[in-house]
Every structure is written in C-alpha cells, then in structure tokens.
Amino acid sequence: MALDPNLADAYEMLGVAKNYMGCAADTEAHINEALRLSPRDTSAFRWMNTAGFSKLLIAADAEAAVWFARGIEANRNYPLLHFGYAAALALLGRLDEAQVAAKAGLALDPGFTIRRVKSAPVIGEAAFVTGIKRFIKGLHIAGVPEG
C-alpha cells in the first residue's frame, strides 16, 4: 500500500491478514476502503466474502449474512458466498433459508463437504481457530454434507 495506496486488492488482503491475526473486527474497515477505491471492481464479491467471514469469526452473524448476501448479488457463481451465507443464517436460527443457501452452494460446487473444510490447515490466532469452528457448526446446521 505504500507503493500504491489505490490498490484496492491490497486492502482486502490486509483484511484477510487481520482475520488470521485474530483481529477480525478490524477487517470491515479495510474492505470498505477497497470498495471505496474500486466500487465496481470485478473482485468485489471476494472482498465481500472476506468481510462476511470476518463477521462470522466474531459472532456478528446478522452482519455476516448481510455481507454474504451482498456478495451473492455481485456474483451468484461463487460457491463460498453461498456456504458462508448458509452458515450465518443457520447460526441465526433461520434454518429454512440456511438450507436453501447451502443447496445453492452445492449446486455450484457439488463436492463441497464439511470434511473438506476440516482438512484445510487452520493456522492463526485462537480467535481465528474458534471462528472456523463456528463456521463449521453453521455448515452442519445448514445441512452441508459431512463428506
């Protein structure tokens, strides 16, 4: 960012780093800056996914659902948005909507399973690891296959 303060992707990557560092509450500001710099960016859906995931990490599930829904509006073909949305809705107790979102994600990525999520190495601060467990719990509730 020192070389190019207008590089929107750099702000999103800083948000991702904040998530891993256990500072997910700081991520939204970086995503908002990326969106301010490049509001019609073709990568904006990924940035919204990062913001939604950061909200899941800090148990701000209603805010997570809003970010994921916004990302889906930007790109309906990105399965992770649907799975994040499903997890957030499930954690909010909105089971019917969560199941619909999970089915939409599975239609895009039929091989997605909870086992696949669990198989990815989870490195980062304790808050990040705890947040991943919340995400997995939400996926379970939404009906994503164990695998």
Which domains does the chain possess? 8-142 (1.25.40.10)
Poorest-confidence range of 3-7, 83-87, 131-135? 3-7
Burial (CB count <10 Å: 0-12, 13-18, 19+), residue 105: buried
Question: pTM of the full predicted structure?
Answer: 0.95
**Rounded to 5°, angle at Cα 24 from 62 and 104:** 45
Q: List C-alpha distances in Å: 129 to 2, 52, 137.
A: 30, 16, 13
CA distance 49 to 62: 14
Quote the pLDDT of residue 3.
Answer: 80
pLDDT band for position 44 (cuts 50, 70, 90): very high
The pLDDT of residue 2 is above 80: no
